[in-house]
Amino acid sequence: MKTEQYPTFIFDLDGVITKTEAYHFEAWKETAAFLEYEISPADNEALKGVSRVDSLKKIVKWAGKEVSPQTFDRLLEEKNERYLGLLSSLSEEDIMEGVHQFMLEAKEKNHPIALYSSSKNAKLILTKLNIIHLFDVLVDGNDVTRSKPDPEGFELAANQSKTSPKDCVVFEDSTAGIEAANAIGMTTVGIGDIESLSIASRVCKNFKEISLNDFKL
């Protein structure tokens, strides 16, 4: 049982635990090319934290195209196949600096650890990284009907960990994710660039700048 001494930590996946967003970028490039659109790094930033369906909707809109439901579904499937192919070499070496140690220390201090990722491949990725056993709660794109910046996934993670949102600390690298967590009163820690993540309660470049002692209720 959680006590008020131990806030629940909710982690995003892409860009927080591992840098799989680069794989997403590569996989989306071919989709965009089919739509006669060249996706840019700035576009990829706008897709952070966004579900696969909503990401494709954005790309279709940027391309100024219309596609049939059948073509839309095919493009989603093909993108995911390319992405899974790129993930084939993923291992523990791809965990971002400082994250694994932070999780181990949190587990020792009885902090509940949860994941909320828009990815429908989250469990596969955590398994390949060999850290899935560290999570008490897993919420991914298969569990929600509304993606970030809607707070549905964070609400699910809080409920499943039996934690009030105000007692949750969220680690996110996307504006959409931070907006979602902020909306229900969670403490937010942005991982990445301070300018783009300034709406977070705190912004750090990586977990080397974060100590477990920073989080006491």
**Residues classed as catalytic:** 12, 14
CA distance 184 to 125: 27
Q: Are 187 and 203 in contact (CB under 8 A)?
A: no
**How far is Cα 134 from Cα 105, in angstroms, rounded to an integer?**
11
Helix (H, G, I), strand (E, B) or coil at 33: helix
Q: Which of 89, 92, 116, 88 is nearest to 104 (CA)?
A: 92
Residues contacting residue 165 through CB under 8 Å, at least 6 positions apart: 154, 155, 158, 184, 185, 186
The neighbour count for residue 111, using CB atoms within 10 Å, is 20
